[in-house]
Amino acid sequence: MKKVRIYTDGACIGNPGPGGWGAVLLSGPHRKELSGGEERTTNNRMELRAAIEALRALREPAEVDLFTDSVYLKRGITEWLPRWKEEGWRRREGKRLLPLANEDLWRELDRLTGMHRVHFHWLAGHAGDAENERADRLARRAAEGR
């Protein structure tokens, strides 16, 4: 199984506002950079979109180490997702079940992670990791429409 490292980031000018996502995929000597944006979105949606689009870009099942500086993405996929699924894609607040924000993207990310062996890793943003910084620049440029 091919091994891939992915670095993702999302950005938003205002929240909501114009947003962008960026991803850097590395496998052996191969490197691929992806980015895109939306006119009116949130930072959390762009963080999710970055991971989704990076995983969609893989042509075959892979062993993936995905690095993100988003606590929302990391905790959502590794801690909260099983409970949301048990609750019918709802989140619990006390005794009430409430709609899940970004349910469409969480469902897609869940589907894609089922196609690969994905290990999510959190890293501090703007802490000098070159690939994380590159994903951030890609996301910001996309948010700015460049």
Q: Determine the Cα–Cα distance for residues 137 and 146; give it in Å rounded to an integer.
A: 11
Is residue 53 within 8 A of residue 25, CB to CB? The reply is: no
In three-state secondary structure terms, 97 is strand
The structure tokens listed for 110 are 């869940």
Is residue 15 within 8 A of residue 8, CB to CB? The reply is: no
Catalytic entry in 9, 19, 76, 131: 9
Catalytic entry in 20, 38, 116, 136: 136
Instruction: Please indicate whether residue 69 is annotated as part of the active site.
Output: yes
Catalytic entry in 38, 69, 116, 131: 69
Catalytic entry in 39, 60, 93, 126: 126
Q: Determine the Cα–Cα distance for residues 44 and 16; give it in Å rounded to an integer.
A: 10
For residue 69, say whether it is annotated as part of any ligand binding site.
yes
Chain position carrying tokens 């699924």: 85
Q: Determine the Cα–Cα distance for residues 133 and 127; give it in Å rounded to an integer.
A: 8
Catalytic entry in 37, 38, 47, 131: 47
Instruction: Please indicate whether residue 126 is annotated as part of the active site.
Output: yes
Instruction: Please indicate whether residue 114 is annotated as part of the active site.
Output: no
Catalytic entry in 10, 19, 22, 37: 10
For residue 104, say whether it is annotated as part of any ligand binding site.
no
* Residues placed in the known binding site for Mg(2+): 9, 47, 69, 136
* Residues placed in the known binding site: 9, 47, 69, 136
Q: Which residues are catalytic?
A: 9-10, 47, 69, 126, 136
